[in-house]
């Protein structure tokens, strides 16, 4: 980040502080300097190369627990003045926010070692090498069997700085690499998709490997036939968990959402069984190279690794300071008024993908990708359907043969899927998918889920 | 906005000077303001909401977007620091990235030739929703919250979201166009879940949205409509019975017709999907490989797209590439008639843009989007549609829905749905009748439509990073013959 931009940020923060101290009892200012790039490509060519340069502020303002949150990226002096005057008027009319009590007092001890595990200078300096990576991944995918590819590559860095009315302040930088490639055969129905994401170029990031995987799946998916509806076991790729499994720990285990009644764990509490006992899930803001990792949350509470689901039972919901019970600590997931997930991390098992296919006893479908998950209701049990796309395979002969199939839809609910998760892969992969239901970053293994209804169109 | 027009002009001049050779350059200066007031189970909430209901509840944004076409490669740079220095840096970045992209392309990007305009336009309103006081907005929502203070037959979770926003743009390009726009919008979203002990529940999410000002929202008198929907939700979970199976006739209400026009027709007609540009995001189109003139459905099927409909949520008069908006006839008499184009896709198809390029804020590229998509009305009254159905279903609204990434296989689960018998709609509520059908199967099953269109607001998701674009979807009642419910 250039010095003049950080100077400008602190200058604006200083102006805002002077004003808000006049009418706020509590406040927090989060300054963000984002410098990011994206290469979008399709038909194996670059469609557009984009570049963002943004300074913005996220303000939390409270006047005796009447609260408002506002995002300010219009940093012109008169806009700041007008906006803050307007906020003052809004707070005068606003009602008491029963979900907000106070900011945490501190002081806190931070694990600053995480800062080196989420920031990689070489990512910010990637420059034209980014295009080289896209080209190499494209070539590899085509070599594996694709006719053409499409995809997206985000790379860049962001500076975060937070200070609040308690007197706490802190800064950190985080870089992001998010590469996704989709391979198409001669027809547009045989496709494969793969992704790779990390904060560091040399840790867990492999664009070329993603290209190889997408091309391989695409080739395997050729000459697929319409699948037969019925009840199957499914084996899902890690990225499918962002649609099918991660919404429970990432959304429904948000204590705020629970209290709203807008989630499928309403009525559930600590100790209740909601998943098979092989499943444990953490919210982990300390995960090395995690896209959502940070030294602290929006309240400057140190990031934590919080066990949400413990061998299938609820251990805790994730919270911020205000929603935490009197004798319990925040899980470090602020959002000051509404908690938010960091990295959702699943437990692992003992199986490779091949071994999962071997042990699955009923007719089994291997699903590499899904999208457009929609709910009938967010209330329990959260009945949903989701559409597999890209290579989908009927597993035959214990996985020695994969028969490509198409046009099937997953119909299930979150309770059923978590309880019927009967085997887990042994390796975690970091995934962050396009417009996913869980919205955050997930570390997940391959999963075997039993007894899923698959349907198809009737005309 | 006026103060920064000079900066926009400066940027455009800079983009074409100092040895930079661009086939095309454009600068879009934009301010966006959003205010969202919500009530969650009766409690006022001034902040973000989960599950993608809102992510920037209150926001003030300003920024510049520069797109340059250099040697057939496209670069885009944005900044919210509106100084000459930051604009110089943005031009430099956009130029450099466009040039590097061009070396990788086999086929250069071209832009279609379009008319040049110097104009300004705005939506037609009397009361800007952004200027309505917080007290008045709270009073408006409170009226709906009070519905749940009465004794009701079942329990409810109720969330009401009132979102007001305003978008002002100044667009200039190397062709010579200079266009200013001003559009305030308002969207009222009730999210209601009826709950019965024992686990049954039913969820409603609606969007009542317009660019026609605060007065338009008030004129809709939504309270009675919402009261009725609340009662229906309660009835569904207490009284609804299993729907008929096998081949039946089905009449879809305007809500369902609207979503079908959007999902099964609007999206697959987007030229960027047909060409593969959204291949890794929202997908492609089953129309890829088919030419204009391909038969999609029955002759009575007409699906149109029109940004110029007054008060509509997707309203605009010039798109974000400076092209004048007009009605688009996507399916005409059952035939694939017209795609949605921007200047890039129009050049590939050797035609003109039909003004489909939209961006939702300064930091997003303009891409092909719908505006207001609808089934054209037909010749029948609602009663005439029903009286010719011996045994069937009336699906007034939907709950869960999705469609594959080629826009071929779709699913719509009915919410408020009734049994039709012997030409009459009965009082028998049906539980989640499910229509799982392909797009050609659907369009070739329609045999009649009623005369009056009704509209629903929505946010359409596409692109990466995502752009939730305000749209209307609409239609009359439409009748389908011999379809199978799941």
Residue B376: closest CA among B414, B419, B332: B332
Residue B34: closest CA among B59, B15, B17: B59
Question: What was the pLDDT predicted at A1?
Answer: 58
What is the per-residue pLDDT across B347-365, written as a single tens digit (0 to 9) for each? Answer: 999 999 999 999 999 999 9
- Residue A109, judged by CB atoms within 10 A of its CB (0-12, 13-18, 19+), counts as exposed
Question: What was the pLDDT predicted at B1?
Answer: 67
Contact B281, B270 (CB under 8 A): no
- In degrees and rounded to multiples of 5, residue B88 shows phi and psi of -60, -45
Strands B178-195 and B118-122: parallel
Interface pTM, i.e. ipTM: 0.95
Please judge whether A456 and B402 are an interchain contact, meaning their C-beta atoms are less than 8 angstroms apart: no
Neighbouring C-beta atoms of residue A43, cutoff 10 Å: 17
Residue A440: closest CA among A283, A206, A264, A313: A283
Contact A368, A353 (CB under 8 A): no
First-to-last C-alpha distance (Å) of chain B: 54
Residue percentage of chain A with pLDDT more than 70: 100
Residue B294: closest CA among B429, B417, B444, B152: B444
Indicate the pTM of the whole model: 0.96
Distance, CA of B269 to CA of B336 (rounded, Å): 8
Question: Which candidate from B134, B275, B280 shows the least CB-CB separation from A93?
Answer: B134
B253: which 2 tokens?
């209400």
Predicted confidence (pLDDT) at residue A69 exceeds the cutoff of 90: yes
Q: Chain B partners of A54 at a C-beta cutoff of 8 Å?
A: 63, 78-80, 363
Q: What is the mean pLDDT of chain A?
A: 95
Contact B22, B15 (CB under 8 A): yes
Please judge whether A261 and B157 are an interchain contact, meaning their C-beta atoms are less than 8 angstroms apart: yes
Q: How far is B386 from chain A, CA to nearest CA, in Å?
A: 22
Element (H, E) at B214: helix B214-219
Please judge whether A74 and B90 are an interchain contact, meaning their C-beta atoms are less than 8 angstroms apart: no
Strands B73-79 and B118-122: unpaired
Q: How confident is the model at residue A152 (pLDDT cuts 50, 70, 90)?
A: very high
Q: Distance of CA A409 to CAs A70, A230, A378, A453, B287, Å?
A: 40, 10, 19, 8, 21
Contact A153, A91 (CB under 8 A): no
Give the chain B residue nearest A89 (alpha carbons): B134
B455: which 2 tokens?
């509209």
Question: Which candidate from A42, A90, A409 shows the least CB-CB separation from B279?
Answer: A42
What is the per-residue pLDDT across A96-150, written as a single tens digit (0 to 9) for each? Answer: 998 899 999 989 999 899 999 999 999 999 998 999 999 999 999 999 999 999 9
Question: Which candidate from B31, B56, B484 shows the least CB-CB separation from A458?
Answer: B484
Q: What is the DSSP letter of A79?
A: H
Please judge whether B60 and A70 are an interchain contact, meaning their C-beta atoms are less than 8 angstroms apart: yes
Give the chain B residue nearest A260 (alpha carbons): B40
What is the per-residue pLDDT across B373-397, written as a single tens digit (0 to 9) for each? Answer: 999 999 999 999 999 999 999 999 9
Question: What was the pLDDT predicted at A437?
Answer: 79
Please judge whether A459 and B442 are an interchain contact, meaning their C-beta atoms are less than 8 angstroms apart: yes
Distance, CA of A210 to CA of A2 (rounded, Å): 33
Q: In A165-216, where do the E strands start and end?
A: 169-184, 191-198
Contact A281, A313 (CB under 8 A): no
Neighbouring C-beta atoms of residue B50, cutoff 10 Å: 21
Question: What was the pLDDT predicted at B52?
Answer: 66
pLDDT values of chain B reduced to their tens digit, one per residue, 486 residues: 676 789 999 999 999 887 778 999 999 999 999 999 999 999 998 888 876 666 688 999 999 999 999 999 999 999 999 899 999 999 999 999 999 889 889 899 999 999 999 999 999 999 999 999 999 999 999 999 999 999 898 999 999 999 999 999 999 999 999 999 999 999 999 999 999 877 789 999 999 999 999 999 999 999 999 999 999 999 999 999 999 988 999 999 999 999 999 999 999 999 999 999 999 998 999 999 899 999 999 999 999 999 999 999 999 999 999 999 999 999 999 999 999 999 999 999 999 999 999 999 999 999 999 999 999 999 999 999 999 999 999 999 999 899 999 999 999 999 999 999 999 999 999 999 999 999 999 999 999 999 999 999 999 999 999 999 999 999 999 999 999 997
Question: What was the pLDDT predicted at B56?
Answer: 80
Please judge whether B193 and A97 are an interchain contact, meaning their C-beta atoms are less than 8 angstroms apart: no
Mean pLDDT, residues A30-39: 97
Question: Which candidate from B46, B80, B464 shows the least CB-CB separation from A68?
Answer: B46
Contact B42, B14 (CB under 8 A): no
Residue B313: closest CA among B252, B268, B378, B369: B369
What is the per-residue pLDDT across A193-230, written as a single tens digit (0 to 9) for each? Answer: 999 999 999 999 999 999 999 999 999 999 999 999 99
Neighbouring C-beta atoms of residue A225, cutoff 10 Å: 11
Predicted confidence (pLDDT) at residue A2 exceeds the cutoff of 90: no
Q: Chain A partners of B86 at a C-beta cutoff of 8 Å?
A: 53
Whether omega for the bond prior to residue B212 falls within 30 degrees of 0, making it cis, is no
Question: What was the pLDDT predicted at B12?
Answer: 95
Residues near A327 by beta carbon (within 8 Å), at least 6 away in sequence: none
Question: What was the pLDDT predicted at B200?
Answer: 84
In degrees to the nearest 10, what's the CA dihedral of A71, A77, A78, A79? -10
Distance, CA of B350 to CA of B120 (rounded, Å): 29
């Amino acid at each position: 980040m250039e010095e003049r931009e950080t100077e400008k940020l602190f200058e604006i923060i200083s102006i805002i502080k002077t004003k808000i101290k006049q009418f706020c009892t509590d406040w927090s200012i989060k300054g963000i300097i984002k410098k990011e790039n994206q290469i979008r490509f399709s038909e194996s060519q670059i469609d557009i190369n984009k570049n963002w340069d943004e300074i913005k502020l996220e303000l939390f303002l409270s006047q005796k627990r009447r609260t408002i949150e506002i995002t300010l990226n219009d940093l012109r002096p008169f806009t700041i003045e007008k906006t803050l005057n307007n906020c003052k008027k809004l707070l005068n009319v606003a009602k008491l926010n029963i979900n907000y009590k106070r900011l945490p007092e501190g002081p806190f001890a931070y694990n600053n070692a995480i800062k080196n595990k989420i920031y990689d200078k070489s990512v910010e300096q990637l420059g034209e090498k980014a295009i080289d990576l896209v080209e190499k991944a494209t070539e590899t995918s085509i070599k594996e069997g694709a006719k053409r590819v499409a995809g997206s590559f985000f790379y860049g860095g962001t500076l975060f700085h937070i200070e609040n009315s308690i007197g706490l302040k802190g800064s950190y930088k985080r870089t992001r690499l998010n590469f996704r490639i989709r391979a198409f055969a001669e027809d547009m129905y045989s496709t494969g998709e793969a992704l790779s994401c990390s904060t560091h170029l040399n840790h867990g990031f492999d664009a070329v490997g993603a290209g190889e995987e997408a091309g391989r799946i695409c080739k395997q998916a050729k000459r697929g036939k319409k699948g037969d509806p019925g009840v199957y076991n499914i084996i899902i790729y890690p990225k499918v968990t962002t649609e099918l499994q991660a919404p429970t720990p990432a959304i429904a285990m948000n204590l705020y959402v629970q209290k709203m009644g807008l989630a499928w764990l309403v009525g559930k509490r600590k100790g209740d069984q909601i998943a098979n006992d092989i499943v444990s899930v953490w919210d982990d803001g300390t995960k090395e190279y995690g896209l959502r990792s940070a030294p602290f949350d929006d309240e400057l509470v140190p990031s934590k690794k919080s066990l949400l689901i413990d061998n299938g039972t609820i251990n805790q919901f994730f919270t911020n300071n205000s929603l935490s019970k009197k004798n319990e600590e925040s899980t470090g997931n602020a959002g000051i008024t509404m908690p938010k997930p960091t990295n959702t991390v699943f437990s692992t098992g003992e199986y490779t993908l091949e071994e999962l296919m071997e042990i699955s006893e009923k007719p089994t479908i291997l699903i590499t990708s899904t999208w457009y998950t929609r709910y009938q209701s967010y209330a329990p049990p959260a009945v949903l359907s989701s559409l597999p796309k890209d290579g989908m395979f009927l597993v035959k002969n214990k996985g020695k043969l994969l028969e490509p199939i198409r046009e099937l839809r997953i119909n299930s609910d979150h309770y059923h899927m978590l309880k019927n998760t009967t085997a887990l892969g042994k390796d975690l992969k970091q995934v962050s998918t396009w417009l996913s239901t869980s919205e955050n970053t997930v570390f997940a293994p391959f999963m075997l889920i039993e007894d899923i209804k698959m349907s198809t169109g009737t005309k | 906005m006026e103060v920064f027009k000079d900066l926009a002009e400066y940027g455009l001049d800079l983009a074409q000077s100092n040895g930079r050779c661009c086939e095309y350059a454009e600068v879009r200066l934009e301010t966006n303001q959003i205010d969202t007031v919500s009530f969650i189970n009766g409690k006022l909430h001034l902040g973000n909401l989960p599950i993608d209901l809102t992510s920037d509840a209150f926001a003030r944004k300003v920024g510049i977007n520069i797109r340059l076409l250099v040697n057939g490669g496209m670069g885009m740079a944005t900044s919210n620091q509106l100084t000459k220095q930051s604009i110089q840096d943005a031009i430099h970045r956009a130029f450099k990235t466009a040039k590097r992209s061009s070396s990788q392309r086999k086929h250069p990007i071209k832009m279609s030739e379009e008319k040049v305009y110097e104009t300004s336009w705005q939506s037609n309103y009397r009361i800007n929703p952004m200027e309505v006081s917080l007290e008045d907005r709270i009073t408006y929502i409170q009226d709906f919250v009070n519905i749940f203070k009465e004794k009701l037959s079942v329990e409810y979770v109720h969330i009401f979201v009132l979102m007001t926003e305003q978008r002002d743009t100044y667009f200039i390009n190397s062709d010579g166009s200079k266009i200013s726009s001003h559009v305030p919008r308002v969207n009222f979203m009730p999210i209601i879940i009826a709950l019965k002990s024992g686990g049954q529940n039913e969820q409603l999410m609606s969007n009542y949205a317009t660019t026609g000002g605060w007065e338009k929202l008030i004129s809709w008198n939504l309270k009675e409509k919402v009261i009725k929907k609340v009662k229906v939700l309660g009835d569904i979970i207490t009284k609804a019975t299993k729907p008929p199976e096998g081949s039946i006739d089905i009449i879809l209400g305007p809500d369902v017709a609207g979503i079908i026009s959007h999902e099964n027709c609007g999206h697959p007609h987007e030229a960027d999907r047909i060409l593969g540009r959204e291949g890794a995001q929202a997908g492609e189109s089953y129309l890829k490989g088919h030419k204009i003139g391909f038969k999609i459905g029955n002759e009575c099927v007409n699906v149109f797209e029109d940004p110029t409909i007054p008060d509509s949520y997707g309203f605009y008069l010039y798109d974000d590439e400076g092209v004048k908006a007009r009605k688009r006839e996507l399916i005409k008499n059952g035939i694939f008639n017209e795609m949605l184009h921007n200047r890039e896709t129009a050049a590939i198809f050797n035609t003109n843009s039909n003004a489909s390029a939209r961006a939702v804020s300064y930091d997003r590229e303009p891409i092909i989007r719908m505006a207001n998509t609808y089934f054209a009305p037909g010749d029948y009254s609602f009663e005439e549609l029903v009286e010719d159905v011996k045994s069937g279903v009336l699906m007034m609204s939907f709950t869960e829905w999705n469609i594959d990434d080629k826009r071929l296989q779709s699913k719509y689960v009915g919410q408020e749905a009734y049994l039709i018998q012997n030409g009459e709609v009965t009082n028998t509520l049906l539980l989640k009748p499910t229509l799982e059908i392909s797009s050609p199967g659907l369009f070739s099953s329609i045999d009649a439509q009623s005369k009056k269109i009704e509209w629903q607001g929505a946010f359409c998701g596409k692109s990466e990073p995502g752009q939730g674009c305000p749209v209307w979807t609409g239609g009359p009642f439409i009748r389908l013959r011999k379809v199978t419910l799941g």
